[in-house]
């Protein structure tokens, strides 16, 4: 129903803001990340929106960008994850970090977020793994592809480059992994090594 709202940020609270547009104040539930990013922008600000309609409530959720809204939509598609829980998750990690965690089947990122238990974290990874693997973020074609010992290594390097690592960083990280056979395992181990 609402794609976005442009207006002045007039107040903020814990995971909520009010955007004033033409004399109307819109209350939006947002992540902590969205609040920080909106406060850094000049007025008026543009907030992407999602109208959550339930039997006894209508709530408007806001996002600093379409990538955050897209991740929100994926999260609420998981059984047992509601809109408020999805906002809590987005407040606890960046979209890029969540994408990497899901793609590499790493539930630890979710388990560290307040209110997210181990079972919910596992369900998120299980249900979103295939959806995230189709994102352009993880499937950008790689030019000047170096020689790989396996297709899994090539896929892993492509995924790491799509996540913002340089070609050299991604190649070094993939080559430093041993004993992993699938692209997912290579990505997971490479990310662990790169975070040290």
Same domain, 40 and 87: no
Please give the model's pTM, rounded to 2 decimal places.
Answer: 0.64
Is residue 121 located within the same domain as residue 145? Answer: no
CB count in 10 Å sphere of residue 112 = 11
Which residues have a Cβ under 8 Å from the Cβ of 154 and sit 6 or more positions away? 142, 145, 148
CATH value at residue 172: 1.10.8.10
* pLDDT for the residue numbered 144: 36
Q: 29-60 in b/e burial notation, b at 16+ Cβ within 10 A?
A: bbbebbbebbeeeeeebebbbbebeeeeeeeb
Does 107 share its domain with 157? Answer: no
Domain that holds residue 74: 66-133
Query: Per the structure, how many domains does the chain have?
Result: 3
111 and 80 in a single domain? The answer is yes
User: What is the pLDDT confidence band of residue 138, given thresholds at 50, 70 and 90?
Assistant: very low
What CATH number is attached to the domain comprising 24? Answer: 2.40.50.140
Q: Pick from 117, 133, 149: which residue ends a domain?
A: 133
With cut-offs at 50, 70 and 90, classify the pLDDT of residue 6: very high
Q: What is the phi/psi pair of residue 65, to 5°?
A: -155, 170
pLDDT band at 146 (very low <50, low <70, confident <90, very high): very low
Average pLDDT of the chain, as a whole number: 80
Burial of 12 (0-12, 13-18, 19+ CB in 10 A): middle
Tokens 């979710």 map to which residue? 110
Q: What is the CATH number of the domain that holds 99?
A: 1.10.150.20
- Residue 127, pLDDT > 50, answer yes
| pLDDT tops 60 at residue 139 | no
Among 87, 108, 133, residue at a domain's last position: 133
């Amino acid at each position: 129903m609402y794609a976005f709202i442009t207006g002045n940020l007039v107040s903020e609270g814990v995971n909520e803001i009010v955007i004033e547009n033409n004399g109307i104040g819109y209350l939006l539930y947002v992540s902590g990340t969205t609040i920080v990013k909106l406060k850094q922008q000049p007025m008026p600000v543009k907030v992407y929106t999602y109208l959550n309609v339930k039997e006894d409530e209508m709530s408007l959720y806001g996002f600093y960008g379409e990538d955050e809204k897209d991740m929100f939509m994926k999260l609420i598609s998981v059984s047992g994850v509601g809109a408020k829980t999805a906002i809590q998750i987005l407040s606890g990690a960046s979209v890029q970090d969540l994408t990497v965690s899901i793609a590499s089947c790493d539930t630890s990122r979710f388990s560290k977020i307040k209110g997210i238990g181990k079972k919910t974290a596992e369900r998120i990874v299980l249900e979103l793994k295939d959806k995230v693997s189709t994102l352009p973020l993880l499937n950008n074609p790689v030019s000047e592809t170096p020689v790989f010992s396996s297709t899994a290594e090539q896929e892993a390097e492509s995924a790491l480059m799509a996540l913002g690592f340089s070609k050299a960083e991604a190649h070094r990280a993939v080559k430093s992994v041993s004993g992993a056979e699938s692209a997912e395992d290579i990505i997971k181990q490479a990310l662990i090594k790169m975070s040290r």
